[in-house]
Amino acid sequence: MGCMHSKSSAVDDIQESGFKGKDRSRDLSLIQMDIHENGSRRVYDVDGREMERKISLFEKQRNERAESLAAINSRNPTPVRVPKAAEGEQVAAGWPSWLSAVVGEAINGWLPRRADTFEKLDKIGQGTYSSVYRARDLISNKIVALKRVWFDNLDPESVKFMCREILILRKLDHQNIIKLEGLITSRLSCSLHLVFEYMEHDLTGLAARPGEKFTEPQIKCYMKQLLSGLDHCHRQGILHRDIKGSNLLIDNNGILKIADFGLASLFDPDCSIPLTSRVVTLWYRPLELLLGASHYGVEVDLWSTGCILGELYTGRPILPGKTEVEQLHKIFKLCGSPSDDYWRNLHLSHAAVFRPPQHYRKCIMDTFKELPPVAIGLIEKLLSVDPSQRGTAALALNNEFFTTSPTACDPSCLPKYPPSKEIDARLREEEAGIKRNSGRKNQASARKLPPDLQSNPGYNNANEEQMQMSQSRGEAFSSQQDKTVSGFLVGPLKEQRGSKEPRKYQIEHYQKPASYSGPLIPVYGIGKAPTDQDHCGTITARSRLSMHSGLLARRTGYGNHESSGASVPSSTNKVGRFSGPIHGMEPHMRRQDSKYHSKRNSDTGPVEDGRIQTKESALHYREPEGNKMYLSGPLLVPSNNVDQLLKEHDRRIQEYSRKTRVTKYRTSKRYVYRKVLG
Ligand SMILES: Nc1ncnc2c1ncn2[C@@H]1O[C@H](COP(=O)(O)OP(=O)(O)OP(=O)(O)O)[C@@H](O)[C@H]1O
């Protein structure tokens, strides 16, 4: 027997179900109702006579679904529980079958939202595989963030990996983790919108605000929230695998939430399931992943957390390597090289190649001597080269760093910042850069041009225009003259008129550049959005901006070709671009993958380690001539001398830079003018 209903609910139920009993006029307070497990209802009058109107389970569910749908599409913005998670039901409720088949568990209890119940306001972020918009939920009138992800719904793998983010987000429920509030689907389109609560800031944006310096209680407050969120993830068996400033969102109440679970993965505490090592943005990537580890756990997120802690204190990324080789070298120089035992027990393919011949002493203490000792202590712990020494998020939360005065402030005491995102910071800096450079350029050209040309406004304008173009291209890669990028030659980016969305990235061609003698490596081309050619153009200035991912990438000259002559594209810190021994590609990997596939495929085992398949890989999405990219393959042959390796690496980058500068100059107007006019 089912439960006995209260009077009022029985009344409501009867009224709702359209009960028209012959004794309708009788005192309803005396009516009793039983609901059986099979969903049928029996209603008795005061005399115990059955006033039956049986409702089948099917009918009951249909009614509930209709109610839920009506609520969703009319006034109730929150997803309503669908009584049963059967795939058929979900399809009937409006979910596309391909989604229901893969992610039924995650959407169980939800109903899809319709796109026309949101008003898109502006674009606030451009991820590698997604565009993020600020939007108004027309039902609740609340501001939300819509993350539009692209995938290939005909490719089950692509769907599966896209769905992993949803499944993982649905498993998490913590105040320091971004909340997935709903999904907008379409049966026809290959895109899906994830509806999130809207966050006004990200840590990168806040840290990059001019003159901004966090106080110690503020740093502790952010760190506490980050570690609490991480602790929750890890307890749920989830690794984030892309902890960095731009993925730590902060709302106007100072609450920090970990976002972007696109690279997250379920993990086995015994580390018995192999995972890919091609994860985590380069500057935040731990030693073991750089060495190709495929059995790892929570320690990878703790390493990234250590990098964030150092960054919050110093105001700049602490390990900004341009290539994986350089990243390793920077780690050794700061954190010391691991012990002989570490190397002996490692059994990693790249370990022998990258083991430095000399021992590096740990010098975290010296490097951060200005910092409070407790902060240095925690940084040392989190940046232990031996992963087993890093502890856990819970242990870090108990570290004396948090108990020593001054302690963390309350999030509500944090200053109220104007909207600041990584993307805003970059735009600001780009604009300032354009002004600075165009001013300089105009002065220079005014000085050197012959008087007749100086007075020709067309000439100067053209110059400026050119300058601005190269500036904005500089977001994607520092300049045309710096096409050598961490071991890859990257062609210039071409803008397509009218393009709004970033292209869909695919592993497209395998080609061997003339100058290259190493193994074949995949070249990341740019696919088309499925629906409309015009709609899938190139990356907008804004979107390119978001490719940077360090807290203060620009401040450190990152992406600035003037600083070193060996510029790195904005994406470099996400990409292990060095394609030498670490990432040499195998011909069997010649396949056309959707970008999502290539990103999300990253966890099916170490066999994938050869593929550049994480989100960073798609950052080769510049479009050089002929829609092809020129990757040079490994710049270096493996050597056991890291210093020599780096030196040679730099030399080649410099050489290529010089050559491209010369070429650029020879094609410049000034050169032509000199040649023609003597
Ligand atoms: N809920 C949100 N509220 C406000 N802004 C957001 C939200 N979610 C994402 N963003 C913005 O959009 C950017 C990109 O989002 P996200 O990191 O989830 O996408 P992605 O494709 O995985 O990006 P990436 O390749 O940079 O890691 C973020 O850096 C952030 O600035």
Task: Give the tens place of pLDDT for each residue, 435-473.
Answer: 666 555 554 443 343 333 333 333 233 333 332 323 332
- Ligand 1 centroid to Cα of residue 429, in Å, is 20
Q: Which residue has the higher pLDDT, 126 or 580?
A: 126
Is the pLDDT score of 575 beyond 50?
no
Kindly provide the ipTM of the predicted complex, given to two decimals.
0.96
With a 6 Å cutoff on the Cβ, whether 614 touches ligand 1 is: no
Is the pLDDT score of 277 beyond 70?
yes
Task: Give the tens place of pLDDT for each residue, 196-225.
Answer: 999 999 998 888 777 778 999 999 999 999
Question: Is the bond preceding 406 in cis, omega lying within 30 degrees of 0?
Answer: yes
60 is known to lie in a ligand binding site: no
Q: What is the pLDDT of residue 128?
A: 72
Q: What is the pLDDT of residue 487?
A: 26
Is the pLDDT score of 476 beyond 90?
no
With a 6 Å cutoff on the Cβ, whether 202 touches ligand 1 is: yes
Find the length of the chain: 678
Task: Give the tens place of pLDDT for each residue, 230-245.
Answer: 999 999 999 999 999 9
84/395 Cα distance (integer angstroms): 40
Task: Give the tens place of pLDDT for each residue, 627-669.
Answer: 332 233 333 334 445 556 666 666 776 777 777 777 766 666 5
Dig out the tokens for 59 from the structure: 């009918």
14-40 average pLDDT score? 37
At residue 285 the predicted structure's pLDDT band, cuts being 50, 70 and 90, is very high
54/89 Cα distance (integer angstroms): 22
The closest of 653, 643, 666, 659 to 330, measured between CA atoms, is: 643
- Ligand 1 centroid to Cα of residue 6, in Å, is 47
Pocket test residue of 130, 132, 202 for ligand 1, highest count of atoms within 8 A of CB: 132
For ligand 1, atom 17, name the residue with the nearest CA: 260
- Ligand 1 centroid to Cα of residue 126, in Å, is 7
Q: Which residue has the higher pLDDT, 587 or 247?
A: 247
At residue 509 the predicted structure's pLDDT band, cuts being 50, 70 and 90, is very low
48-68 average pLDDT score? 46
486/575 Cα distance (integer angstroms): 9
At residue 326 the predicted structure's pLDDT band, cuts being 50, 70 and 90, is very high
Q: What is the pLDDT of residue 367?
A: 96
Whether residue 567 contacts residue 656, with contact meaning beta carbons closer than 8 Å, is answered with no
Is the pLDDT score of 547 beyond 60?
no
> Quick one: 321 exposed, middle or buried, by C-beta within 10 A (0-12, 13-18, 19+)?
buried
- Ligand 1 centroid to Cα of residue 216, in Å, is 27
* Phi-psi domain of 274 (left: phi exceeds 0; alpha: psi -120 through 50; beta: other): beta
With a 6 Å cutoff on the Cβ, whether 247 touches ligand 1 is: yes
Is the pLDDT score of 366 beyond 70?
yes
pLDDT, the chain, mean: 64
For ligand 1, atom 19, name the residue with the nearest CA: 127
Q: What is the pLDDT of residue 137?
A: 95
Is the pLDDT score of 567 beyond 90?
no
The DSSP element (H or E) to which 444 belongs, if any, is: helix 422-448
The closest of 200, 306, 153 to 244, measured between CA atoms, is: 306
The DSSP output letter for 593 is B
Task: Give the tens place of pLDDT for each residue, 28-55.
Answer: 333 344 444 434 444 444 455 554 444 4
Which residues does 131 contact at the CB level (< 8 Å), separation at least 6?
A: 123, 125, 147, 148, 501, 502, 543
With a 6 Å cutoff on the Cβ, whether 193 touches ligand 1 is: no
- Around Cβ 327, how many Cβ atoms within 10 Å? 23
Tell me which of 242, 260, 482, 603 is the catalytic residue: 242
**Closest-lying ligand 1 atom to the alpha carbon of residue 202:** 31
242 is catalytic: yes
With a 6 Å cutoff on the Cβ, whether 206 touches ligand 1 is: no
Is the pLDDT score of 510 beyond 50?
no
306/137 Cα distance (integer angstroms): 37
With a 6 Å cutoff on the Cβ, whether 262 touches ligand 1 is: yes
For ligand 1, atom 4, name the residue with the nearest CA: 199
- Ligand 1 centroid to Cα of residue 131, in Å, is 8
- Ligand 1 centroid to Cα of residue 446, in Å, is 43
**Closest-lying ligand 1 atom to the alpha carbon of residue 196:** 1
At residue 574 the predicted structure's pLDDT band, cuts being 50, 70 and 90, is very low
Task: Give the tens place of pLDDT for each residue, 286-312.
Answer: 999 999 899 999 999 999 999 999 999
For ligand 1, atom 11, name the residue with the nearest CA: 125
At residue 319 the predicted structure's pLDDT band, cuts being 50, 70 and 90, is very high
Q: Which residue has the higher pLDDT, 309 or 571?
A: 309
**Closest-lying ligand 1 atom to the alpha carbon of residue 260:** 18
State the helix-helix crossing angle for 642-666 and 669-677, rounded to 10 degrees: 50
HSE, side-chain direction, 13 A CA sphere, residue 509? 15
Lowest mean pLDDT among 162-166, 187-191, 405-409: 187-191
With a 6 Å cutoff on the Cβ, whether 483 touches ligand 1 is: no
Is the pLDDT score of 184 beyond 50?
yes
Pocket test residue of 123, 147, 166 for ligand 1, highest count of atoms within 8 A of CB: 147
Pocket test residue of 124, 281, 542 for ligand 1, highest count of atoms within 8 A of CB: 124
Say if strands 32-35 and 41-44 run parallel, antiparallel, or are unpaired: antiparallel
- Ligand 1 centroid to Cα of residue 127, in Å, is 6
91-97 average pLDDT score? 75
**Closest-lying ligand 1 atom to the alpha carbon of residue 615:** 25
* Proportion of the chain above pLDDT 70, given as a percent: 48
At residue 127 the predicted structure's pLDDT band, cuts being 50, 70 and 90, is confident
At residue 186 the predicted structure's pLDDT band, cuts being 50, 70 and 90, is confident
Q: What is the pLDDT of residue 227?
A: 98
At residue 427 the predicted structure's pLDDT band, cuts being 50, 70 and 90, is low
